[in-house]
Structure 1
Amino acid sequence: MTLPSKTAILDRINLPSDLREVDDRDLPQLADEVRAAMIDSVSRTGGHLGAGLGVVELTIAIHKVFNTPDDRLIFDVGHQCYPHKILTGRKGRMTTLRQEDGLSGFTRRAESEYDPFGAGHSSTSISAGLGMAVASKLQNKPRNVISVIGDGAMSAGMAFEALNNAGALGARQIVILNDNDMSIAPPTGAMSAYLARLASGRTYLEVKDFTKKITSYLGKSVDRAISRAVGHARGFVTGGTMFEELGFHHIGPIDGHSFDNLLPVLRNARDHGRGPILIHVVTQKGKGYAPAEAAADKCHAVSKFDVVTGHQAKAKPNAPSYTSVFAEALIEEARHDDKLIAITAAMPSGTGLDKFEDSFPGRCFDVGIAEQHAVTFAAGMATEGMKPFCALYSTFLQRGYDQVVHDVAIQGLPVRFPIDRAGFVGADGPTHAGSFDTTYLTTLPGFVVMAAGDEAELKHMVRTAADYDEGPIAFRYPRGEGTGVEMPKRGEILEIGKGRIISEGSKVALLSFGTRLSACREAASMLNASGLTTTVADARFAKPLDHDLIRQLASHHEVLITIEEGAAGGFGAHVMQFLVNEGLLDHGLKARQMVLPDIWMEQAKPEIMYKKAGLDSDGIVNTVFRALGQERVSTGTGTIG
């Protein structure tokens, strides 16, 4: 593809109503212009590139055919929504994508009336669309509801639950299955396109309804047999038998980059469709941009890049990432224990398990976008004496919480949970922030919950988890680089429930859980300089707590501050409960908890987010002075008490 130097058609389009005035013959040129605009904006901001490139024609066709925003368009996950944003009044702000105070990288209700449902996690679009369709029917507001879902997202149980319910309800809903991995045979030639148009047209649908009326007179058993025979016959040609059995009228597969295919099918679905319809569209992730088409991941997520070469501008890291440290540590432990197994839910590269799979291909399992299944799959392995590490992002572990409780914790099974992306994650904003795992795991009896203070500690926790067979154990760590500490060749086995003292003072105690440890060190230096000698401790464990360490800190300091990268109700809450129950607050100890604020923190660089949250070194110092009832005074060289 040669990127157009002008955007003559796109310049005239501010909203989908403008798009509907464009002649069908000009849509391929518009697709080139939208693709070029998207590439240009993402090259400046970074973001999700490949998915959006793959749905340019599909997005244009939907907005061309349907009357959005009155007709509802829901994108699953939202990685692919950039062309949609360009066409719905936001093209002038695309250079703010995923930036502080800028556009979200996902669909978001507060951002535009063209985003009827916010996304960030997968497999929700069919359920949400069905809810909208039924609500519209109940309110006598006829409208089309279109849910666009990828073939990967279809692997989640929630998608099938929604399909099953939609088929039973017979609601007016259009589901577009965006198959961008060629997992189902793509269409070839004019015949497939013709069959798709025929199957979506008035004649086919009227004949189908007429056949149902005729066979109904012959009795239910005959009616059911003939209907299934017709469905299976057409399914043999088009691949739609499963969806037909769920109650959907299935169309496709069709070429998702051909307006000649897309427009008539969508118009037929709009004008003649009855009940739920599933349109199977085959697209190419990264379509139209050679560097993306050539990349193994089709440039799913990129940093800023050169448009001509596709070369991404990635700063040289000062220290290894936590994710890579985890992966290397797990590989090392697997060399010593052939029962060690790795499991992920469609995030092999994001969790570092692609490296593990390279070393142990028979011991690594990617179960697809199916966190609930991943957890119970791991539980089943644990019952047979294996040592499963179920590696998930914090925000995605939430999706399997019932299984964590019922299938793992209640049975006391030794499933290991490496929890990546703990705390703020930056440009992905609130949908991907790892805010809640400490809170929801420490409530479970028998669970061991750890957090790494630095990358060396992460190595220790991987080995500790591998060695621990008494029950479930989890350890959390953030996105991004480590702190540059000296790394052991292999981790050490930590004593369960024991923290460590980093530095000692007598006035203030800072008890850190997780990688705010570095901010605590900086805060201690500032406090020491102001005459408030400060102890820094690394809790390591939120459950079980190190009671001896807490008693020591409470008994020998005037102020005790707990600091964590999680929501209220987590580590600090358990420390406070212990202090109260032990009477350690009865003698004037000034105890404070520092947690993530009770808001949905908007996207920004992580360091900015932590500063806004008051969890940077300056915020910690301010908390100490407030606890002491003192004010900090600014000077020419800094701030003192």
Structure 2
Amino acid sequence: MAQLPQTPLLDTVHTPSDLRQLPASSLRQLADELRAETIAAVGVTGGHLGSGLGVVELTTALHYVFDTPSDRLVWDVGHQCYPHKILTGRRDRIRTLRTGGGLSGFTKRSESEYDPFGAAHSSTSISAALGFAIANKIAGKPGKAIAVIGDGAMSAGMAYEAMNNAQGAGNRLVVILNDNDMSIAPPVGGLSAYLSRIVSSREFLGLRDLARRVAKKLPRPLHQAARKTDEFARGMAMGGTLFEELGFYYVGPIDGHNLEQLIPVLENVRDAEEGPILVHVVTKKGKGYAPAEAAADKYHGVQKFDVITGVQSKAPPGPPHYQNVFGAQLVAEAASDPTICAITAAMPSGTGLDAFAKAYPERFFDVGIAEQHAVTFAAGLAAQGMRPFCAIYSTFLQRAYDQVVHDVAIQNLPVRFAIDRAGLVGADGATHAGSFDVTYLATLPNFVVMAAADEAELVHMVHTCALHDSGPIAVRYPRGNGTGVALPATPERLEIGKGRIVREGKKVAILSLGTRLAEALKAADALDARGLSTTVADLRFAKPLDEALIRKLLTSHEVAVTIEEASVGGLGAHVLTLASDTGLIDAGLKLRTMRLPDLFQDQDKPEKQYAEAGLDADAIVDTVLKALRHNSGSLVEEARA
């Protein structure tokens, strides 16, 4: 076990109320110890490192200045909250991060009163904090709401929608813009730090308010000119004109690692009558840990690592990751088709599109954290004759559902959706699980929805997408490594709506969609050993269904089971509907549907999650045996049983 860091001062801080008893002069030592503890903990668990190290001083200052949890602190996205968890009564469990039964890797309401709002998707903090602030205003409560939002999260329109609506919150709302890429403002220097402190001071705000009241008594042209002069002068100095136009009083930029600057500015903001206020804080991802500072992108999310060397644990060599199989095949398709282009929403490496970006930079588009825009942008490209691939994680595509319906499906535009992280995702838990895409896409007219059973199937499906021009088409595939099958030298164009028989049997039929196929084959081995001859089919398509194959299997086997890594309303529901519409139910059909349970599953190892969900080989065998114990009765009676 790695040696624990020496943290004598941090050992005395169990909650922020303890922190607020310390003299300001000791906060530097506390922050250093907090950083060391964060590094040591993530070295054991893995997880998000660079972003958390970048906000150690900011986290310390916020809990020191504001009266949390009465003042509501909302983190955006939430993956930078490990130091926050250490300071808010969860240090004794910090080495359980992202493990089964342990702490979530994000903020979570059920975990602590210091997590007033759960977050793992981007750009929600200002809207949520505005809700807290307005609720306090209506109830006459004094508490403030503080939203900490990263500059990447500011690329989403939702953040600006919230800011445009925030004026009514007044000084109850504070937004901290955590700029860790130096992407908005010039580098922080002594002059900008001095200006930030001055313009956030009570004296300056009071003088500004007096000037504003005097200006209102001037003729309107002079009043407007005075207002614009004030905003323009501060905007020229500090880059805050955009935020001023949205109704925020802008302070910054300030050095997010200098507690001597942070504390007085935040105290001024806390006590200000002006509002809402945006404080622009410049930080460095990975701050204080040399390996993370040197390669912040690689230390955004990490495996377990050696704290001394920074070397991350490596999984044993295995099959390629699905995302990389997708990326490589898309590059191959684009080599012979100049109309193919690729779109991602701030996840080029996570979706495997970094290879495409390198090969065809003029046809690659990273639109930032803006999934809604990504989908409609793809629709526009498709309408003008391009062949766009929109690669978005299943859980993030949920954010663009109206655009999928209105801008793509209704117009029957051939947008290709590459849906990564389908199914359960392990350590990231419920917020990142791809549970619902089969249901929310297969219900739409005009859509084709495929699920790859392995990496070879994914190659065929990417090729099929590239050649499909008659409407929208989607392929879903999971996180992590493939199964190890050989990749085809030449991809095959699949016939739309046609499945395949993988294994022939006579008594039991397992109809699989996606990568549960491997478990279906294991279950077939176990059933055959019991004398129950089993057919296994890979349906490939959730929509359109291979109706001929499904009817054949349902009518020629005593028991049929569907299985999918998706929620209720997906493949099983569509097969049940087919059975109902074609009268098979009246024939006493024995059909069972296996899908994800109607709950949000917490983080754990994927194999444990699927076992808990009842979607492994043992569960398939159990489902078949239970069905065979009922020798008669209609489907309706079986469902009631």
- Normalization by structure 1: what TM-score? 0.97
Return the letter of the residue paired with 1:207.
L
Return the letter of the residue paired with 1:363.
R
The 1:26–1:296 alpha-carbon spacing in structure 2 relative to 1, beyond 3 Å, is closer
Give CA deviations for 1:175-210 in whole Å, capped at 9, x if unaligned: 000000110234443221110011101111111111
Greater Cα offset, 290-299 or 346-355: 290-299
Matches within 5 A, 1:415-494: 415-494=415-494
Is there any run of 5+ residues in structure 1 with no aligned partner, and where?
632-641
Identity %: 64
The 1:556–1:488 alpha-carbon spacing in structure 2 relative to 1, beyond 3 Å, is same
Return the letter of the residue paired with 1:567.
S
Return the alpha-carbon distance in structure 2 between the equivalents of residues 285 and 300 of structure 1. Answer: 8
Greater Cα offset, 614-623 or 273-282: 273-282
Return the alpha-carbon distance in structure 1 between the equivalents of residues 312 and 528 of structure 2. Answer: 43
SS in 1 for 2:614: coil
Return the letter of the residue paired with 1:213.
R
Check whether the contact 2:286–2:296 (CA below 8 A) recurs between aligned residues: no
Check whether the contact 1:326–1:458 (CA below 8 A) recurs between aligned residues: yes
Give CA deviations for 1:31-51 in whole Å, capped at 9, x if unaligned: 111111011110111000000
SS in 1 for 2:302: coil
SS in 2 for 1:341: strand
SS in 1 for 2:426: coil
SS in 2 for 1:175: strand
Check whether the contact 1:4–1:32 (CA below 8 A) recurs between aligned residues: no
SS in 2 for 1:213: helix
Check whether the contact 2:188–2:253 (CA below 8 A) recurs between aligned residues: no
Return the alpha-carbon distance in structure 2 between the equivalents of residues 82 and 556 of structure 1. Answer: 56
Check whether the contact 1:340–1:388 (CA below 8 A) recurs between aligned residues: yes
Return the alpha-carbon distance in structure 2 between the equivalents of residues 142 and 303 of structure 1. Answer: 42
Please state how far the C-alpha of 1:229 moved relative to its aligned partner. 1.8
Please state how far the C-alpha of 1:228 moved relative to its aligned partner. 1.6
Return the alpha-carbon distance in structure 2 between the equivalents of residues 39 and 143 of structure 1. Answer: 32
SS in 2 for 1:334: helix
Check whether the contact 2:452–2:540 (CA below 8 A) recurs between aligned residues: yes
Return the letter of the residue paired with 1:404.
V
Return the letter of the residue paired with 2:555.
S
Residue in structure 1 matched with residue 510 of structure 2 by the alignment: 510
Matches within 5 A, 1:336-415: 336-415=336-415
- Normalization by structure 2: what TM-score? 0.97
1:28 aligns with 2:19: no
Return the letter of the residue paired with 1:249.
Y
Residue in structure 2 matched with residue 330 of structure 1 by the alignment: 330
The 1:298–1:537 alpha-carbon spacing in structure 2 relative to 1, beyond 3 Å, is closer
Give CA deviations for 1:446-505 in whole Å, capped at 9, x if unaligned: 000000011100000000000000010000000011111121023210000000000011
1:247 aligns with 2:229: no
Residue in structure 1 matched with residue 581 of structure 2 by the alignment: 581
Is there any run of 5+ residues in structure 2 with no aligned partner, and where?
632-641
Give CA deviations for 1:348-372 in whole Å, capped at 9, x if unaligned: 1100111111111111110000000
Please state how far the C-alpha of 1:518 moved relative to its aligned partner. 0.3
Return the alpha-carbon distance in structure 2 between the equivalents of residues 228 and 317 of structure 1. Answer: 61
SS in 2 for 1:391: strand
Please state how far the C-alpha of 1:317 moved relative to its aligned partner. 3.2
Residue in structure 2 matched with residue 318 of structure 1 by the alignment: 318
The 1:114–1:626 alpha-carbon spacing in structure 2 relative to 1, beyond 3 Å, is same
Residue in structure 2 matched with residue 299 of structure 1 by the alignment: 299
Give CA deviations for 1:56-111 in whole Å, capped at 9, x if unaligned: 00000000001100111000110100000000001111110000000000000000
SS in 1 for 2:172: coil
Question: How many correspondences in the alignment?
Answer: 629
Residue in structure 1 matched with residue 541 of structure 2 by the alignment: 541
1:603 aligns with 2:603: yes
Check whether the contact 1:79–1:106 (CA below 8 A) recurs between aligned residues: yes
Please state how far the C-alpha of 1:221 moved relative to its aligned partner. 4.1
SS in 1 for 2:535: strand
Please state how far the C-alpha of 1:167 moved relative to its aligned partner. 2.8
Return the alpha-carbon distance in structure 1 between the equivalents of residues 211 and 224 of structure 2. Answer: 11
Please state how far the C-alpha of 1:524 moved relative to its aligned partner. 0.4
SS in 2 for 1:460: helix
SS in 2 for 1:349: coil
Return the letter of the residue paired with 1:266.
L
The 1:254–1:85 alpha-carbon spacing in structure 2 relative to 1, beyond 3 Å, is same
SS in 1 for 2:478: coil
Return the alpha-carbon distance in structure 2 between the equivalents of residues 313 and 364 of structure 1. Answer: 32
Return the alpha-carbon distance in structure 2 between the equivalents of residues 283 and 188 of structure 1. Answer: 10
Please state how far the C-alpha of 1:4 moved relative to its aligned partner. 9.5
SS in 2 for 1:348: coil
Matches within 5 A, 1:134-145: 134-145=134-145
Please state how far the C-alpha of 1:168 moved relative to its aligned partner. 5.5
Please state how far the C-alpha of 1:630 moved relative to its aligned partner. 7.0
Give CA deviations for 1:8-58 in whole Å, capped at 9, x if unaligned: 110100000111111211111111111110111101110000000000000
Return the letter of the residue paired with 1:411.
Q
Please state how far the C-alpha of 1:272 moved relative to its aligned partner. 1.8
Check whether the contact 2:173–2:276 (CA below 8 A) recurs between aligned residues: yes
Residue in structure 1 matched with residue 181 of structure 2 by the alignment: 181
1:567 aligns with 2:584: no
SS in 2 for 1:351: coil
Return the letter of the residue paired with 1:311.
V
SS in 1 for 2:561: strand
Greater Cα offset, 571-580 or 19-28: 19-28
1:260 aligns with 2:260: yes
Return the alpha-carbon distance in structure 1 between the equivalents of residues 191 and 25 of structure 2. Answer: 22
SS in 1 for 2:390: strand
Matches within 5 A, 1:182-201: 182-201=182-201
Residue in structure 2 matched with residue 520 of structure 1 by the alignment: 520
SS in 1 for 2:425: coil
The 1:298–1:252 alpha-carbon spacing in structure 2 relative to 1, beyond 3 Å, is farther
Return the alpha-carbon distance in structure 2 between the equivalents of residues 329 and 490 of structure 1. Answer: 11
Return the alpha-carbon distance in structure 1 between the equivalents of residues 192 and 21 of structure 2. Answer: 29
Greater Cα offset, 294-303 or 219-228: 219-228
Residue in structure 1 matched with residue 638 of structure 2 by the alignment: none
Return the alpha-carbon distance in structure 1 between the equivalents of residues 474 and 189 of structure 2. Answer: 52
The 1:130–1:517 alpha-carbon spacing in structure 2 relative to 1, beyond 3 Å, is same
Return the letter of the residue paired with 1:132.
F
SS in 2 for 1:119: coil
Check whether the contact 1:557–1:589 (CA below 8 A) recurs between aligned residues: no
1:531 aligns with 2:560: no
Return the alpha-carbon distance in structure 1 between the equivalents of residues 221 and 586 of structure 2. Answer: 78
SS in 1 for 2:123: coil
Give CA deviations for 1:595-633 in whole Å, capped at 9, x if unaligned: 1000111110000000001100000111111111279xx
Return the alpha-carbon distance in structure 2 between the equivalents of residues 532 and 585 of structure 1. Answer: 23
Return the alpha-carbon distance in structure 2 between the equivalents of residues 61 and 469 of structure 1. Answer: 55
Return the letter of the residue paired with 1:34.
L
Residue in structure 2 matched with residue 130 of structure 1 by the alignment: 130
Return the alpha-carbon distance in structure 2 between the equivalents of residues 353 and 273 of structure 1. Answer: 48
- Report the aligned-residue RMSD: 1.3
The 1:13–1:507 alpha-carbon spacing in structure 2 relative to 1, beyond 3 Å, is same
Residue in structure 2 matched with residue 68 of structure 1 by the alignment: 68
Return the letter of the residue paired with 2:485.
V
Return the alpha-carbon distance in structure 1 between the equivalents of residues 183 and 130 of structure 2. Answer: 25
SS in 1 for 2:11: helix
Residue in structure 2 matched with residue 637 of structure 1 by the alignment: none
Residue in structure 2 matched with residue 558 of structure 1 by the alignment: 558
SS in 1 for 2:591: strand
Give CA deviations for 1:520-546 in whole Å, capped at 9, x if unaligned: 000000001001100000010011110
Check whether the contact 1:69–1:113 (CA below 8 A) recurs between aligned residues: yes
Check whether the contact 1:286–1:298 (CA below 8 A) recurs between aligned residues: no
Please state how far the C-alpha of 1:298 moved relative to its aligned partner. 5.1
Greater Cα offset, 596-605 or 208-217: 208-217
Check whether the contact 2:155–2:369 (CA below 8 A) recurs between aligned residues: yes
Return the alpha-carbon distance in structure 1 between the equivalents of residues 278 and 154 of structure 2. Answer: 12
Matches within 5 A, 1:269-308: 269-297=269-297, 299-308=299-308
Residue in structure 2 matched with residue 634 of structure 1 by the alignment: none
Runs (4+) off by over 4 Å: none
Please state how far the C-alpha of 1:320 moved relative to its aligned partner. 1.0
